[in-house]
Amino acid sequence: MDAVIETPWTVPAIKAALDQSPLVREGEMTLRVLEGADPVLLATMHEYGDLPVYLSVGGAQIVCSVLLWPVSEQADRHAFNEFLLKAQRVVPLSNFAITNVGGEDVYELMGELSCKTTLQTILIELRTLAENAIDATELRETFGAEAA
């Protein structure tokens, strides 16, 4: 099997392919395209407590991401951020970021893929990111979190 496809993916094409794929387990996820300037695929991962995973396509890459929790809720943010930079291997194949949502900084977990990768690899990324988001929550508890 080739490691890449000829035509780059688009968000609607990924949704259609996942909807038809026997690789997706029954009831594993619900997929919805969120229309905007650039469409985004919302994959609600039912096996991970209905965790929302967002997928977008831009340029030469596919970006999958999960919004975690507000930065303001993280106890000892400095120590936590330093830990994340030093211990990146704790959540393999994913990266931590801070993004602004509605005027508030939020921790985000993300993974990137080539826009010519296989559907199987996209599905693996969605599952891995969901699992890593659960693991990230355990990291948060290790460092404590202030009450919202």
Q: Look at residue 108 in the predicted model and tell me its pLDDT.
A: 95
Q: Look at residue 138 in the predicted model and tell me its pLDDT.
A: 79
Condensed to tens digits (0 to 9), the pLDDT of residues 68-127 reads: 999 998 888 888 888 887 766 666 678 889 999 999 999 999 999 999 999 999 999 999
Instruction: Domains for the chain: give ranges and CATH numbers.
Output: 11-141 (3.30.1460.10)
Q: What is d(CA 103, CA 116) in angstroms, rounded to the nearest whole number?
A: 34
Question: For the residues 43-63, what does the mean pLDDT come to?
Answer: 95
CA geometry: angle 43, 109, 14, nearest 5 deg = 30
Q: What is d(CA 39, CA 73) in angstroms, rounded to the nearest whole number?
A: 30
Contacts of 108 (CB under 8 A, 6+ apart): 65, 66, 67, 68, 96, 97, 98, 99
